Amino acid sequence: MATVTVMKRYLPRKLEGKVSPGLVWYARQKTFMLSVSIPASVLLLFGPVVGRPDHNGIRYLIGSLLCPWIAALYYLVFPFKPYRGSPFLPSGTHSVDSSGPEVIRLVDLFKSPAAKSLLWRAAIKLSGILLASMAMLTLVVRHSLSWSLPSPWLFPGLMGCTLFCWIAIGTQLVDWGLKTWAATN
C-alpha 99/C-alpha 123 separation (Å) is: 32
Residue range 113-135: average pLDDT?
96
| Residue 99: partners with Cβ closer than 8 Å, 6 or more residues away | none
| Residue 90: partners with Cβ closer than 8 Å, 6 or more residues away | none
Q: Where are the domains of the chain?
A: 55-82+106-185
pLDDT > 90? residue 52: no
Contact assessment for residue 81 and residue 173, using Cβ atoms and an 8 Å cutoff? no
The reported pLDDT for the residue numbered 97 is: 59
pLDDT > 50? residue 147: yes
173 falls in which pLDDT band (50, 70, 90)?
very high
85 falls in which pLDDT band (50, 70, 90)?
low
Q: Identify which of 4-13, 29-38, 99-108 has the greatest average pLDDT.
A: 29-38
Mean pLDDT of the chain: 85
